[in-house]
Each structure stands twice: as structure tokens, then as C-alpha cells.
């Protein structure tokens, strides 16, 4: 958790509310110097070879693994995830670095194209300084998910992180510096949210990527659009987890619990609305509630803890409002549902049954450990309920009939569909959403190409019309 004052940011430990640190906010002169340094670094970085970039990015991966515990502990202290989850996040960042070091050159290889030219091809050139506005829930992964491909493509990165993970942001700056990246290739700025419009609009910023709330994404996109800058937005989600009557209910419930309660439910791609066909509804509710009650909630530094606090107290209060309002409309609290007393930002793993499409836990994004379970008459109604959302990030489908599942997946209005498994991001697969979950893609070849100039190169002289027609065999 954090509080912002005129010239400082104060970070708080969400497990007990104690002050962790105070940081100076960058003034206008420091921000200007940082952007100037980044723009200057781009002039040199864009001319480096893929091999030179890959050497540094692989070095970064080794550094992350060698310092994994210490790096993870900063995230645990600042935003509350269990230490084991934080260490897994650091490991995933290292994997992403290795993945793009290995594959960037292939993803951005020139593509030959037929035209009237003697020769023509498509090239992928870097754009310049890319501003990343990142959230606190996966404080390392969200940044590395963007930074590794952006840097391998020849861009440079400027990070504006969420205030409550300022320690993580500055730690990442130290990581890039320690691994020998040129000054300005990766730059962290500590900026109050109210000052970001000016940074987005700065002519030295070529493009913007944001992971965060719908409101933040809309505001940044409006400013970037006014100045004609490319944006990629990964926003909220209210992912549906559809369980059909022929599913393995126990396996579905165990995965449902992991998806909903990992990171204390603070994940855009967590399953949030559990839509279950009537014949297996009661069995699924019972299994999910049992899994929720079995989770050990407590100090995130304790190895026995399975779920820590939410990142801020106000998040607990907002989540509890959604639970109480839904219960008042008829939802049954099967597990959890009580705001605990005492210090810290804890909320219990909660299951609500009998949820309808009129309740806040169905209509709104629930950013915390609350599972809303909805009964569906059949598969057709289940898919209709899944799509009845402003969001479209990910989705799950559970059934033993894989061929049927392929057809149903095509009906999902979401950026991803995971059949008999948990939704997660993977460097090898594109990641992103539709509707109010944002636009653009991260990861895989699609992600690295988002922040490139897709440049057509045409080399004359033009061929004659006859020569342009392929000869018949």
C-alpha cells in the first residue's frame, strides 16, 4: 500500500500497515532529464545487433535467478503476495528474458513480399521510447512482459510504476544497471499519477503500454490518441469459468480455487464468474467451498501461508461492498464473506452461490478472493452468461468432449480460452483482450511486433506487367 504527498511517496506493508519506506517524487527537471537520456540512448540502442541485445537480456535473466529470493521479498513486503508466489514471478520474468533473447531475431526477420518491384519486403523497425505504466499486482512480471520484447526490438523503455510498489520499480532499475544496459535503455521514473498526462504527451515518448484499470486505460488512451501515439492496453477482466455437466468436477474445482485465490484474487485473468451447468452445480459449489476453507491465510513471509493480504485496505472495503450488496440481492455466502478485524488488508477466500446477472459480483470486476457461482440450464445459457460482460480478457471451459469444446471456444468473446486448464500468460502465446479489457497483444511474435514500425521496402525498377505474372508450368 502507499500514500502520495506533494513530494514523497510512502509505501506500507499490507500485512500489518507499517511504513516500509518514503521516496522522493521526481520533479519536472528530473523527468525531463530522464526522457532526454532515454531518447539519447535510443539513438545508439537501435543500431545494436540482435546478438548484442540478447547477450544483455540473457545476463538479466541470470541475474534475476541468482537474486530471486531477495527480489521476491521486496514484492511480498510491498503488495502482500506469499513469498513462494513472488519467487515464481521472478523466475517467470527470467524465462521471458531468455525466450525473447532466443526468438526476437526470428520474430522480426524481414518478410519477402511479391509486388511490381524487382524486390520488396516488410521490415520491423523500432519505434523509440516506449512508456510503460504498470500496476502493482504482478510488480515484476507486468514490467518484464513488456520490457524484454521491447528492448530486443530495439526500443528503449521508461517505467512509471504503481506508487505502492516503488521499491520494486527502483529494484528493477538496479537490475538493468547491474547487467550493463546503456544508461537510458531502461529508466524508472517516480511520478505522481496526476503528472502522467504531461509525460504521455511528451514528444520524446513514441508509444505507451498500460496494464491497469479501465479508467486509467481510457485516460491514457485519450491523451495518447490526442497526440497520435500507439498504445497497447491490458485492462480489467471478469473471466468466466464454464463447467459443463460432463466435466471432471473435482479437477475443475481445484483449478477454480487456484485461479481465483492465487495472488489473493488480485489478477486481471483470474477466473471470477463460475458458470456451472445445473446437473453438477451443487457438487461444484461444495468442492470449491471446501478448497476455499482449506487455504491458509496469513503472513506472506511465512512459508506455510497460501494466501496473503490484499495490497491495500481500500481494496478490502470495496470487495466487501460488492459481497454485501450481492448478498442483499439473494446471493448465499457459502464460505468467507466477513471483513476481519485487526491490522492488515486481509480478506478471506469467499464463495458466493446463487449469483445472478443482476448482482455486483457478476456485473463488476471483483479484484480479490471472491468467487461468484452462477447456475446455468445448459451449455448455450452458460456461454451466453459468459459473454454477458463488458470485459473480454480470458475464459475457461471444462468438459470431457474436446471436439465440442473447440466449437464452444469459438463462441467466447475473449482474448483467450483455456479448455480444462487454468488461464495464464505464457511467453509463447499472445496475451490480451477485447471489449473493455483493452486492445493489442503482448507476448509471442504478436507482442514484440506491437511496438515496431512495420515498414514496406520497395526496390525498383518496376517489373513489366508480363514479367510480374508468374510463369505457368
- Asked whether residue 119 falls in the same domain as residue 70, the answer is yes
Answer yes or no: do 207 and 283 share one domain: no
pLDDT at 7 over 90: no
> Using 50, 70 and 90 to split pLDDT, how confident is the model at 473?
low
* Position 469 pLDDT exceeds 60: no
The verdict on 230 and 144 lying in the same domain is: yes
For residue 472, is it within any domain?
Answer: no
- Please tell me the pTM assigned to this model: 0.95
290 and 143 within one domain:
no
Is 80 exceeded by the pLDDT of residue 132?
Answer: yes
Same-domain status, 164 and 248:
no
For 64, the domain range is 2-235+437-457
Q: Are residues 105 and 249 in the same domain?
A: no
pLDDT at 472: 47
- Whether residues 149 and 253 fall in one domain: no
- Which pLDDT tens digit goes with each residue over 216-268? 999 999 999 999 999 999 999 999 999 999 999 999 999 999 999 999 999 99
Q: How confident is the model at residue 342 (pLDDT cuts 50, 70, 90)?
A: confident
Q: Are residues 171 and 275 in the same domain?
A: no
Are both 306 and 209 inside the same structural domain? no
Residues known to be catalytic? 234, 268
Using pLDDT thresholds of 50, 70 and 90, give the confidence band for residue 468: very low
Q: Is the pLDDT of residue 63 over 80?
A: yes
pLDDT of residue 2: 56
Residue 325 lies in a domain: yes
Tell me: the pLDDT tens digits for 262-287? 999 999 999 999 999 999 999 999 99
**Residue-wise pLDDT tens digits, 291-339:** 999 999 999 999 999 999 999 999 999 999 999 999 999 999 999 999 9
Identify the bridge partners of residue 442 per DSSP, sorted by sequence position: 431
pLDDT tens string 69-123: 999 999 999 999 999 999 999 999 999 999 999 999 999 999 999 999 999 999 9
CATH of the domain at 303: 3.40.309.10
The verdict on residue 428 lying in a domain is: no
The pLDDT value recorded for residue 465 is 59
Asked, for residue 470, whether it belongs to a domain, the answer is no
- 135 and 33: one domain? yes
Would 143 be classed as within a structural domain? yes
The reported pLDDT for the residue numbered 194 is: 82
Overall domain count for the chain: 2
Q: Is the pLDDT of residue 466 over 50?
A: no
Average pLDDT in the chain: 96
> Residue 431 falls within a domain, yes or no?
no
40-61: per-residue pLDDT in tens? 999 999 999 999 999 999 999 9
pLDDT given at position 82: 98
Answer whether residue 387 is part of any domain: yes
What mean pLDDT do residues 414-443 have? Answer: 98
Same domain, 336 and 230: no
CATH number at residue 45: 3.40.605.10
Q: What is the mean pLDDT of residues 131-156?
A: 98
- Domain annotation covers residue 464: no
Query: Which pLDDT band holds residue 193 (cuts at 50, 70, 90)?
Result: confident
Same-domain check for residues 378 and 402: yes
Amino acid at each position: 500500500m502507499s500514500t502520495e504527498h506533494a513530494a514523497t511517496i510512502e509505501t506500507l506493508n499490507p500485512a500489518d500497515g507499517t511504513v516500509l519506506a518514503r521516496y522522493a517524487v521526481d520533479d519536472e527537471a528530473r523527468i525531463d532529464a530522464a526522457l532526454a537520456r532515454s531518447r539519447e540512448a535510443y539513438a545508439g540502442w537501435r543500431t545494436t545487433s540482435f546478438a548484442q541485445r540478447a547477450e544483455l537480456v540473457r545476463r538479466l535473466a541470470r541475474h534475476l535467478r541468482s537474486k530471486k529470493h531477495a527480489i521476491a521479498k521486496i514484492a511480498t513486503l510491498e503488495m502482500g503476495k506469499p513469498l513462494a508466489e513472488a519467487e515464481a514471478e521472478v523466475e517467470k520474468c527470467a524465462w521471458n528474458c531468455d525466450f525473447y533473447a532466443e526468438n526476437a531475431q526470428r520474430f522480426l526477420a524481414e518478410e519477402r513480399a511479391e509486388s511490381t518491384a524487382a524486390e520488396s519486403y516488410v521490415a520491423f523497425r523500432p519505434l523509440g521510447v516506449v512508456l510503460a505504466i504498470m500496476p502493482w499486482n504482478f510488480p515484476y512480471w507486468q514490467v518484464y512482459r513488456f520490457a524484454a520484447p521491447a528492448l530486443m526490438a530495439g526500443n528503449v523503455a521508461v517505467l512509471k510504476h504503481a506508487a505502492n510498489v516503488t521499491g520494486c520499480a527502483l529494484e528493477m532499475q538496479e537490475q538493468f544497471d547491474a547487467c550493463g544496459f546503456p544508461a537510458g535503455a531502461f529508466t524508472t521514473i517516480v511520478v505522481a499519477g496526476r503528472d502522467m498526462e504531461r509525460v504521455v504527451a511528451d514528444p520524446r515518448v513514441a508509444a505507451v503500454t498500460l496494464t491497469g484499470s479501465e479508467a486509467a486505460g481510457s485516460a491514457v488512451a485519450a491523451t495518447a490518441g490526442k497526440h497520435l501515439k500507439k498504445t497497447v492496453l491490458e485492462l480489467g477482466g471478469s473471466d468466466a469459468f464454464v463447467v459443463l455437466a460432463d466435466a471432471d468436477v473435482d479437477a475443475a474445482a481445484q483449478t477454480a480455487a487456484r485461479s481465483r485465490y492465487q495472488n489473493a484474487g488480485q489478477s486481471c485473468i483470474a477466473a471470477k464468474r463460475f458458470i456451472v451447468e445445473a446437473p453438477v452445480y451443487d457438487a461444484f459449489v461444495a468442492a470449491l467451498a471446501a478448497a476455499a476453507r482449506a487455504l491458509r491465510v496469513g503472513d506472506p513471509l511465512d512459508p506455510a501461508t497460501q494466501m496473503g493480504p490484499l495490497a491495500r485496505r481500500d481494496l478490502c472495503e470495496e470487495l466487501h461492498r460488492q459481497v454485501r450488496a450481492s448478498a442483499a440481492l439473494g446471493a448465499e455466502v457459502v464460505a468467507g464473506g466477513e471483513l476481519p478485524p485487526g491490522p492488515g488488508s486481509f480478506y478471506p477466500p469467499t464463495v458466493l452461490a446463487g449469483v445472478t446477472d443482476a448482482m455486483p459480483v457478476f456485473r463488476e470486476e471483483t479484484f480479490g478472493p471472491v468467487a461468484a457461482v452462477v447456475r446455468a440450464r445448459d451449455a448455450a445459457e452458460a456461454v451466453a452468461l459468459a459473454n454477458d460482460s463488458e470485459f473480454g480478457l480470458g475464459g475457461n471451459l471444462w468438459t470431457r468432449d474436446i471436439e465440442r469444446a473447440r466449437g464452444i471456444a469459438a463462441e467466447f468473446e475473449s482474448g483467450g480460452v483455456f479448455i480444462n486448464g487454468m488461464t495464464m500468460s505464457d511467453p509463447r502465446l499472445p496475451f490480451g483482450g477485447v471489449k473493455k479489457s483493452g486492445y493489442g497483444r503482448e507476448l509471442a511474435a504478436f507482442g514484440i511486433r506491437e511496438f515496431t514500425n512495420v515498414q514496406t521496402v520497395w526496390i525498383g525498377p518496376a517489373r513489366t506487367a508480363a514479367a510480374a505474372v508468374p510463369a505457368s508450368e
